[in-house]
Amino acid sequence: MLEALGLSGTSEMVYLALLDCAGGDQHHLADHLDLTEHEVREALDELTEMALLQEGDTGRQRTPKLVDPEIGMAALIARQQAEIARRQQEIEESKLALARLLSQHSESRPKSADSGVEHLTGAAAIRRRLREIAASCEWEVCSFMPGGAEFAENLPGDRFLDSDAIDRGVRLRTIYLDSIRNHPAAAGYAQWLSELGSEVRTAPSLPQRMFVVDRRIAMVPVNADDEDDESAVVVSIGGVVSALYTLFASVWRTSTPLGLPRPRAADGLTDQGREALKLLGKGCTDEVIARRLGVSVRTARRVASELLARLDARSRFQAGARAVARGWVDLDDLD
């Protein structure tokens, strides 16, 4: 019954027995359930880890103390919902990786007008095609805009495209990096978009640059990890575009509207700080962290030093391990 919430069969038996008859130590539970005391101890450890028993109630022959079942179950369900959301985003990112793979090999396949994949090379070609797609848009443009202050260099051209789309009644939804809030030109542009009627949010990190137009056509870079690779692919294959839009929607739900302050959790970390911690735990260099967060290398180095000091860690690997132990990040985030 409770296995769907992550409890093992034995732990469920022990938990239900405790609900039926509060009290009783490990020895009595083992006798009542026909289990070994070792099995009972393991079940109590699991129940404590799942916050259904109070911390410290798993010692030898101590009587377990239940957390209020309504509170405990609510927390367990919330934990499962968060895990489902994380897994859903992983699935969508896997689909995005497949789209990248298809685009990288599109040049080696026979060209066909009906292939649904169009390969572009060079910044001028990409920008020209993007203008054409924007001009043909009828009702919605969704986009990821990673990069920090450097994207402000292209603002004059983008202003015309964005204002024209809004005038035509197109819904613009754009997600930038949190770091633009600290850059006057970039933040000013995002605020201008918002005042025109566009919907603007920020996130601590983004998978890559991406545009999805009318949920029927999308443009993504061929190699998002190579800043010098000026090539992109335009995709109109229904299933791929749908996967890209679903990824956008997943990030949109958890991003912060521009007019609101970036949230800070009970542990004192902002979303951007937590993302930096995940990258640290993966062993990423300051240069990689800077690129992913859209900040300068100097800022990335400062953030890394502050996190290491806060965790009293001597290495990035140790920082990741201690962050997991404190519950600041999940172990899966460091894979």
Q: Does one domain contain both 239 and 282?
A: no
Place of tokens 């918002």: 194
39-53, 212-226, 244-258: least confidently modelled range: 39-53
Q: Does one domain contain both 91 and 125?
A: yes
Q: How far apart are CA 265 and CA 329, in angstroms?
A: 12
Inside any domain, residue 75: no
The tally of CA atoms less than 13 A away on the side-chain side of residue 258 is 23
Inside any domain, residue 76: no
Average pLDDT on 55-69 reads 60
The secondary element (H helix, E strand) that includes residue 17 is: helix 9-20
Q: Does one domain contain both 101 and 200?
A: yes
Q: What is the pLDDT of residues 258-288, one digit of tens each?
A: 876 655 555 667 777 888 888 887 778 888 8
Q: How far apart are CA 58 and CA 140, in angstroms?
A: 55
Using a pLDDT cut of 90, give the percent of the chain over it.
3
Angle between helices 271-281 and 286-293 (to 10 degrees): 150
Q: Does one domain contain both 209 and 138?
A: yes
Q: What is the pLDDT of residues 22-61, one digit of tens each?
A: 556 677 777 777 788 788 788 788 777 766 777 554 445 5
Coil, helix or strand for 247?
Answer: helix
Q: Does one domain contain both 96 and 127?
A: yes
pLDDT band for 110, please (50, 70, 90 cuts): very low
Most confident listed range (74-83, 244-253, 326-335): 244-253
pLDDT of residue 217: 93
pLDDT of residue 214: 92
The structural domain count of the chain equals 3
**CATH classification at residue 305:** 1.10.10.10
Q: Check: pTM over 0.75? Answer yes or no.
A: no
pLDDT of residue 277: 84
Look up residue 13 and give its two tokens. 């038996």
Q: What is the pLDDT of residues 198-217, one digit of tens each?
A: 888 888 888 788 999 999 99
Contact yes or no for 279/289 (Cβ under 8 A): yes
Domain ranges, residue 293: 271-334
Average pLDDT on 294-312 reads 84
pLDDT band for 332, please (50, 70, 90 cuts): low
Residue 34: partners with Cβ closer than 8 Å, 6 or more residues away: none
Q: Does one domain contain both 118 and 251?
A: yes
Q: What is the pLDDT of residues 93-103, one digit of tens each?
A: 766 666 666 55
Contact yes or no for 300/276 (Cβ under 8 A): yes
Q: Is the pLDDT of residue 79 over 60?
A: yes
Q: How far apart are CA 81 and CA 85, in angstroms?
A: 6
pLDDT of residue 135: 84
Q: Is the pLDDT of residue 157 over 60?
A: no
Average pLDDT on 223-227 reads 70
Q: Is the pLDDT of residue 318 over 70?
A: yes
Using a pLDDT cut of 70, give the percent of the chain over it.
68
Q: What Cα–Cα distance (Å) separates residue 218 from each residue in 113, 142, 242, 281?
A: 17, 9, 9, 33
Q: What is the pLDDT of residues 125-142, one digit of tens each?
A: 888 888 888 888 888 989
**Which is more confidently placed, 163 or 264?**
163
Inside any domain, residue 32: yes
